[in-house]
Structure 1
Amino acid sequence: MEDTLKILVVDDDEVDRMVVRCGLTKAGIKMELSEVGNGNDAFSILSTTAYDCVFLDYRLQDQYGLTLIQQLRSSEIKVPLVVLTGQEDEQTAVQLLKAGATDYLSKSRISPENLAQVLRSAIRVYRAEMQVALAKDQLRESHEQLIRKNQELERQQQQFQMQNFKLSEASLLKSHFLATMSHELRTPMNAIIGFSQILLRPKFAQLTHQQADMVERILNNGKHLLMLVNEVLDFSKLEAGQLDLKAEIFDVSKVINLAVSEMRSLAEAKNLSLLVQTNLQNTSVFNDPVRVKQILINLLSNAIKFTESGEVWVEVKELPANRVAIMVRDTGIGIASRDFKRIFEAFRQVDQSLTRKYPGTGLGLAIINSLVRIMGGKIFLESKLGSGSMFKIELPRQITLPPGGVDAPPLQLDSNQVFSSAQNPHHSSSQARQAPIGYPKFKL
């Protein structure tokens, strides 16, 4: 051992102390040796001074070594203890080890070699015990920290659950408020629109040109406000899962032509061409005609709004697997690829500023996305900034209603409407993207 060891010899026999001292010296132990003759002095010195090892006589005049060991351990005084005993009793040795002795050595076997061996062994055992105790303390501390962290996590989880509950409750209240307010606003708006239309009829009122112009403005703004109110109402119903599809068999080409005719005046006001191309062998579908028209009106409205010159056209064609595609193209400002996902989010517009050029609620595409989904369809977007956009809606020719709904009667399809599975209904453009689904499945 290279380090200088502090060793204490506790023995009431000076000769025995000398034997230990000489033995350790002859063994070449580099040490600082102290000696005491009784248990009380040993306890006192060990209470204030740290030693690397203690050689303790089993039988002291004032007390047994076993008693001193018990006192030291009960006082949390930790030091390697080698008991020197004149007895060859294994039972005594077991008692000593149980009490806290590190090792023992019979006085009859004291020699430089045995002393050095017992000393090194006692120090190794003691250090190993200290490492185990340290590891246990660290493990206990880690366990306590984990318990505290788990308690903190449970507390945070409870807070999150409470916050989620409050958010859900607030969302329901918001949806209810939107639905209520939209319903309440529709009544006066319908009255404004109705009376404005009456005033514009020549047989009901003789208006000057200036008066007629003002009434027309009232009528147009009223229709615009009603459209915004209806969007909010539809959104609140979709969000609450309360929008019902009223499916029936209808001629999809007639619905498309009706929607186009309603939007033609807006296109003509901007000198835009509005074209329709229908490529359907069978124009009958089983769906909600009002909602299909709403989808097309919203798409055409956006196309006209964001197109300053050129044309807007609608194309309807057959798809494999008994599906129908409705495409609305324009030569407008286009959409950057980074904005493809954002435009389908509720209340989201590419330009969110208050001074934006193109007004609106930001609900149109979100409503379209949700309606297409509950119809069992898909929506795709193909666009390039500055080069126009193409929205493609794929719908089943015959939608499936939820349990309890009206079953669809069979549609009469001729044999020419069976398509090869090798046909690809999607566009091959690298910029084609399927629209993200922004809402969960709604109840019908």
Structure 2
Amino acid sequence: MNETLRILVADDDELDRQTVYLALTQAGVNIEMSEVSDAKTTISILRNTTFDCIFLNARLPDQDSISLIKKLRDAEIKVPIVVITEQGDAQIAVELMQSGATDYLDKSRLSSATLTQVLRHAIRIHQVEMQAASAHQKLKESHEQLLRKNQELEKQRQQIQLQNLKLLEVSQLKSQFLATMSHELRTPMNAIIGFAQILLRPKFGKLTYQQADMVERILNNGKHLLLLVNEVLDFAKLEEGRLALQPEFFDLANLTKKVVGEVRSLAETKKLSLIVKINIDNPVVFNDPIRVKQILLNLLSNAIKFTESGSIWVEVKNLQENRIAIAVRDTGIGISSQDFQHIFEAFRQLDQTITRKYPGTGLGLAIINSLVQMMGGKIFLESQIGVGSMFKIELPRQISLSTTNKTSEGVQFDGSGILSTVQKSRNQNSESRT
């Protein structure tokens, strides 16, 4: 020990105090020693002065050492205490250690070597105890901080739960409103379409060219508006869980040809080639033909809408494990990679401006996605900006009745969060797809 240690010797025997001083100095320990002869003075000096160690006589005249040590510890006076005992005071020494003494030394063994060894040991133990106490205090503070954070998180959780309940209520009200309004709108729209069709029949009188043109516009716009209303109604039913599949056996090849026939005029108007490939051994499947037609019609309508030139391909083929695939591929504008994760979101149109080139509700792909999941299927997308896109639907040949009244959770994504993709961006200024 090269540093100077501040030592307090509490002993009513002056000779004993000097013995401690001489033993330490003879051992080469640099000390600055203070002396007291009673417990009262010991407490007083320790409240105002810091020491590296105390040598305490086990038998002070005004107070027993056990009580004194307890008082020092209760007063948060943290200093190593070495008790010097009389020969035969082993039991007292044990009690002193239990009360908070760091070490003890029999007066009969008082020597430079033993005193120095005990001093070093006491200081080392005290340092370890202080480190342990500091670590414990930090742990305690960390624990208290964690408790406070947990309480805050619990409050936030409760607030979020309350907000979620409110949002759920608002969502339900929105779905009910959409369903109600869709029903209310369908009645007059059907009437408008019906009367327009009646006016176009020759037996009700021949219309002039201009009159026929206006009635046809009314009819076409009415059908378009009814289609939008039906999309909103379907989406509202899906959100409320009220849309159930009505499966039956039907010929998928015939249904595909029928849907293609319905949209062929739209493709021919834009001078697009519409190619159909059906490679399926047994065309009979067990599914909801109305909803399968809705899926195929929506995919084909989108392909035609977003393709200005080139071709549209429709392919139906067998897959392994009693599954079938329906793919619609186009040479349209394509979809950018950053839009893949949003393409199936409800009301999401990648061009959100009111002057967008391609109109629509933004519900078509969201409805397709939900229907495919209800059927126990998967939907995949491949696209290149400026080259085209392909939507592929994989469905079981025979859907399970247990899947007809519930939806699966989420779209089938790969590890990157994107559906199966082939993306080579050629024209970042190209118009985005709805």
TM-score (norm 2): 0.83
Residue 426 (structure 2) pairs with residue 433 (structure 1): no
**Greater displacement, 232-241 / 43-52:** 232-241
Measured after TM superposition, the shift of residue 2 of structure 1 is 1.2
In 2 relative to 1, CA 74–244 (structure 1 residues): closer, same or farther, beyond 3 Å? closer
**Greater displacement, 203-212 / 176-185:** 203-212
Residue 438 of structure 1 is matched in structure 2 by none
**Greater displacement, 249-258 / 296-305:** 249-258
Kept in 2, the 8 Å contact 1:280–1:317? The answer is yes
Residues 55-105 of structure 1, C-alpha deviations (whole Å, 9 max, x = no match): 223333433344433332232222222233334221222232223222333
Kept in 1, the 8 Å contact 2:186–2:229? The answer is yes
Kept in 2, the 8 Å contact 1:330–1:388? The answer is yes
Separation (CA, whole Å) in 2 of partners of 1:432 and 1:55: 78
Give 5+ residue unaligned stretches, structure 2: 406-417, 423-434
Residue 120 of structure 1 is matched in structure 2 by 120
Q: Cα RMSD (Å) of the superposition?
A: 3.0
Separation (CA, whole Å) in 1 of partners of 2:375 and 2:75: 80
Q: Secondary structure at the match of 1:402?
A: helix
In 2 relative to 1, CA 194–73 (structure 1 residues): closer, same or farther, beyond 3 Å? same
Measured after TM superposition, the shift of residue 225 of structure 1 is 0.9
Measured after TM superposition, the shift of residue 4 of structure 1 is 0.5
In 2 relative to 1, CA 234–24 (structure 1 residues): closer, same or farther, beyond 3 Å? same
Residues 244-270 of structure 1, C-alpha deviations (whole Å, 9 max, x = no match): 222333343443343233323323332
Separation (CA, whole Å) in 2 of partners of 1:308 and 1:145: 63
Residue 391 of structure 1 is matched in structure 2 by 391
Measured after TM superposition, the shift of residue 356 of structure 1 is 1.8
**Greater displacement, 390-399 / 18-27:** 390-399
Separation (CA, whole Å) in 1 of partners of 2:112 and 2:317: 106
Measured after TM superposition, the shift of residue 7 of structure 1 is 0.9
Residue 133 of structure 1 is matched in structure 2 by 133
Residue 174 of structure 1 is matched in structure 2 by 174
Q: Secondary structure at the match of 2:216?
A: helix
Paired positions, count: 410
Kept in 2, the 8 Å contact 1:267–1:273? The answer is yes
Separation (CA, whole Å) in 2 of partners of 1:15 and 1:46: 22
Separation (CA, whole Å) in 1 of partners of 2:189 and 2:2: 99
Residue 151 of structure 1 is matched in structure 2 by 151
Kept in 2, the 8 Å contact 1:383–1:432? The answer is no
In 2 relative to 1, CA 132–252 (structure 1 residues): closer, same or farther, beyond 3 Å? closer
In 2 relative to 1, CA 225–122 (structure 1 residues): closer, same or farther, beyond 3 Å? same
Residue 210 of structure 1 is matched in structure 2 by 210
Q: Secondary structure at the match of 2:350?
A: coil
Residue type of the alignment partner of 1:143: H
Residues 6-30 of structure 1, C-alpha deviations (whole Å, 9 max, x = no match): 1112223333322222222222110
**Greater displacement, 247-256 / 171-180:** 247-256
Separation (CA, whole Å) in 1 of partners of 2:62 and 2:319: 107
Separation (CA, whole Å) in 2 of partners of 1:95 and 1:319: 85
Residue 330 of structure 1 is matched in structure 2 by 330
**Which structure 2 residues correspond to residues 43-442 of structure 1 after superposition, within 5 A?**
43-204=43-204, 207-278=207-278, 282-319=282-319, 322-402=322-402, 433=420
Q: Secondary structure at the match of 1:97?
A: helix
Q: Secondary structure at the match of 1:131?
A: helix
Give 5+ residue unaligned stretches, structure 1: 406-430, 436-444
Measured after TM superposition, the shift of residue 3 of structure 1 is 1.1
**Greater displacement, 106-115 / 41-50:** 106-115
Sequence identity percentage: 67
TM-score (norm 1): 0.81
Kept in 2, the 8 Å contact 1:10–1:55? The answer is yes
In 2 relative to 1, CA 434–166 (structure 1 residues): closer, same or farther, beyond 3 Å? farther
Measured after TM superposition, the shift of residue 232 of structure 1 is 1.3
**Greater displacement, 125-134 / 337-346:** 337-346
Kept in 2, the 8 Å contact 1:379–1:434? The answer is no
Separation (CA, whole Å) in 1 of partners of 2:130 and 2:30: 23
Measured after TM superposition, the shift of residue 205 of structure 1 is 5.1
Measured after TM superposition, the shift of residue 178 of structure 1 is 1.9
Measured after TM superposition, the shift of residue 285 of structure 1 is 3.6
Kept in 1, the 8 Å contact 2:244–2:404? The answer is no
Measured after TM superposition, the shift of residue 227 of structure 1 is 0.5
In 2 relative to 1, CA 365–32 (structure 1 residues): closer, same or farther, beyond 3 Å? same
Measured after TM superposition, the shift of residue 41 of structure 1 is 1.9
Residue type of the alignment partner of 1:117: Q
Residue type of the alignment partner of 2:4: T
In 2 relative to 1, CA 109–317 (structure 1 residues): closer, same or farther, beyond 3 Å? closer
Separation (CA, whole Å) in 1 of partners of 2:38 and 2:318: 109
Residue type of the alignment partner of 1:433: S
